[in-house]
Structure 1
Amino acid sequence: MSPSAITPEPTFTVTPMKKTAEEKHDFGATVTGLDLNEISDADVKALSNLIWTHKLLVVKGQQELEPIKQWELVTRFDPTAPKVHSHGSVKTFNKEGGLLSKARDVYGIPGAENVRLVGKGYQGPDHYGLKEITVKKPLSHDWHCKPQAEGEFEAGNTRFQRWHIDAPLYARDPAYFTTLRCIKRPTEPQVNIRWDDGSGLEMKSEPGLTAFFSNVQTYELMSEEEKKIADHSWVEYAPHPYMWMGNCRGLTTGLGVATEGREKKLEELGDYDPKSVKTYPMVWVNPVTGEKAFMVHGICARKLFLRSSPDETPVVVEDVGEIRAFLKTIQERVLKPEYIMLPKVEEGDIIMWANWQTFHTAVDYPDSWGPRTMHQANIGASTSPVGPVPIPVAV
């Protein structure tokens, strides 16, 4: 569906991203001629529809963007949502973030605390009010179940860290969009991203970029029988899911976790509200284009409810090993170099993506190559994802 059918023509220019003959990813566009410090309501609406349509936008030339304006834009995308980052305050994130906050420095930008400084290394004498900050973070893939051989990483061989959506999966709904502004990153030398799973797959990238694939394409790669099941099925996530799986270890591809019995028992999670436990459809429908995306965040899934028609009693799968094996066969089909995009983001650009349609991951590089400075912001959505078939209220 064309965004111009919904809103007036935007005042800025949108150019679909080019791809090579070998590339099969089918999303992404570049935006020029826009100042996000001074953006009209009509252009906010147009930009929102373009993100839903293209799945990912790189908005060029935002070197002068004020952090508070980035947060204001996020709230304008979803004006009725609670005015807090999707993972809550920095204090809440550090307390309940589990895997996400483990051994990782998290900073809110003073005066715009819902904009998070993400990256690594020395951030200068004064970074928007943060004085003499050096962001410390562990090696991005040191939680994988199989470590790299000694010397591989420093030689520029790396991995996808953790394919995911930006979603608390407890209490708040996942953000429609995430925004990530590039302040500083090294541009050379290239890293060599390896799957390290025996497939021999690898691909090159500039350092400091974020990788993406489209879960619309994941859905399109499924068989008709698989689509039928996915359309009618749903997932229950664990309470405080990143605490629940915080001791788990990832697969070397970054997609999924190894089943080693490391999940915490529910009684180890402390107090939680059963009403805050999230249950979502397996397939999420794009509210603008109507496209279907297979959106299961497998690392946090505790139960699957599988059926192939509205009248069928679902089969309940509670064994996490079975859950992960079921998802792996589906999700790994898109995990190939030709479907993965690493959009080039230059200093001053801001990337925005449809969090309900894509997976993304960081790709680490040796610290000696220089600091990385990004401003990330999103907001827990005002609505829950909708599937092709309604989930029963009581199961």
Structure 2
Amino acid sequence: MTTTVQLKTRPLKPGFGAELIDVDLAHADAETVSGVVEAFHKHGAILLRGQTMDPTQLVQFISAFGEPEDHTQTQFTLPGHPKVFILSNRVVDGKPIGAHNDGVGWHTDYSYKAEPVMCTMLYAAEVPDEGSDTLLADQCAAWNALSPERQAELDGLMLHHSYQYFMSTREFGRQELSDELKAANPDVIHPLIRTHPSDGRKALWVSTGTVKEVVGMPNPQGLELIDELVDWVTQDQFVFRHKWQVGDILMWDNRCTLHTGTLYDDTKYFRTMHRLWVKGDKPF
């Protein structure tokens, strides 16, 4: 559906993403929200600054993009709002209120699921004065920049993703999964080159952490290929670096981007974000 609302935009970086100007989501009408959704699908990532949203409003807004997704780790969901996940280093009454250093390392969310999340949204409630930037890599531009010969070599390769492998090898907070989490998150196979369902554009859909092997390729050769491709995708020419302000909403399309958080001085600063997801479909 084409909207008649003409939103003011500026690119996050040349050829990728859009900042939407003068949109107040808490008071936006349906037509404006439709325009925001349209901009998201077109640009791969959108930024809206200066928002004031409570958890109910966040869930209502993200529902315009599709059905909100649940979270694998539920201990840090917001009480009364199970679709809202807290990222924070704050400790209250001796207990952390959110996941800390979650999302550091280039990845796409839920890549270990048969149907990875389509969309990720972060809402900034509290941000450090320095550090904690979020980086987005344009995997469509990275694919398009490859030579036709290299594209032909990579197209058709399949990746073995594993949540169990990820949790046992990740840098922050390694853990052995319970039998329940293992059963709920079986290993999956996804294509390395992913086609976007909205317009058929292709993305070099590589990720770190969850990829256990390239199907049919022995390790370490397979994982070395993954490292090589991640290095390619995350070159400066393909990456947007977002510096947070309180009230920012940043959303990205997991079907065509790679992202990572960055570290900050957690002895000096506090950071609190609300993360929401939208259900996705099977990669092809």
Q: TM-score range by the shorter chain?
A: 0.7 to 0.9
Q: Does 1:217 align with 2:138?
A: no
**Root mean square deviation, CA, Å:** 3.3
Partner of 1:75: 63
Structure 2: runs of 5 or more not aligned: none
Q: Secondary structure at the match of 1:287?
A: coil
Cα contact 1:301–1:323 (8 A) shared by 2: no
Give per-residue Cα distances to partners, 1:256-306, cap 9 Å, x unaligned: xxxxxx999xxx97475699542222112223343211112243223434x
Q: Distance in 1 between matches of 2:169 and 2:274?
A: 28
Identity of aligned residues (%): 20
Partner secondary structure for residue 299 of structure 1: coil
Q: Counterpart of 2:153 in 1: which secondary structure?
A: helix
Superposed, 1:1-395 pairs within 5 Å as 6-10=1-5, 12-17=7-12, 26-63=15-52, 65-78=53-66, 81=67, 83-85=68-70, 87-88=71-72, 90=74, 106-121=75-90, 134-135=96-97, 140=101, 161-167=104-110, 169-170=112-113, 173-188=115-130, 207-238=131-162, 241=163, 243-248=164-169, 270=179, 277-305=187-215, 316-317=216-217, 319-381=218-280, 383-386=281-284
Specify whether residues 378 and 274 from structure 1 end up closer, same or farther in structure 2 by C-alpha distance, changes over 3 A only: closer
Query: Which structure has the higher relative contact order (CA within 8 Å, separation 6+)?
Result: 2
CA contact (8 A) 1:49 1:288 kept: no
- CA distances 1:214-273 after superposition (whole Å, capped 9, x unpaired): 1112212323222123332322323xx2x22323255xxx9xxxxxxx999xxx974756
C-alpha distance in 1 between matches for 2:120 and 2:185: 25
Distance in 1 between the 2:188 and 2:168 partners? 21
TM-score where L is the length of structure 1 = 0.62
Residue deviations 1:137-177, cap 9 Å, x none? 66x49xxxxxxxxxxxxxxxxxx93111111523x511111
- Tell me if the contact between 1:68 and 1:111 (Cα under 8 Å) persists in the aligned partners: no
Local SS of the residue matching 1:342:
strand
Residue 134 to residue 244, structure 1, CA distance change in 2 (3 Å): closer
Distance (whole Å) between structure 1 residues aligned to residue 212 and residue 244 of structure 2: 36
Q: 2:175 & 2:85 partners in 1: Cα distance?
A: 28
Aligned length: 282
- SS of equivalent residue, structure 2 residue 35: helix
Deviations 1:356-376 (A, max 9, x none): 111111111112331111111
CA 1:282–1:269 in 2, change beyond 3 Å: closer, same or farther?
farther
Q: For each residue in 1:7-28, what CA deviation from the matched residue of structure 2 results, as whole angstroms up to 9, or x when unmatched? A: 12336422223x5xxxxx6312
Q: Gaps spanning 5+ residues in structure 1: where? A: 1-5, 20-24, 91-105, 124-130, 142-159, 189-206, 255-261, 306-315, 387-395
Preserved CA contact (<8 Å) 2:112 2:185: no
What TM-score, normalized by structure 2, do the two folds share?
0.84
Aligned-pair distance for 1:337?
Answer: 3.4
SS at structure 1 position matched to 2:121: strand
In structure 2, relative to structure 1, the CA distance for the partners of 1:68 and 1:373 (3 Å cut) is same
Contact 2:9 2:21 in 1 (8 A): yes
Deviation by residue 1:180-229 (Cα, 9 ceiling, x = unmatched)? 011111224xxxxxxxxxxxxxxxxxx22211211112212323222123
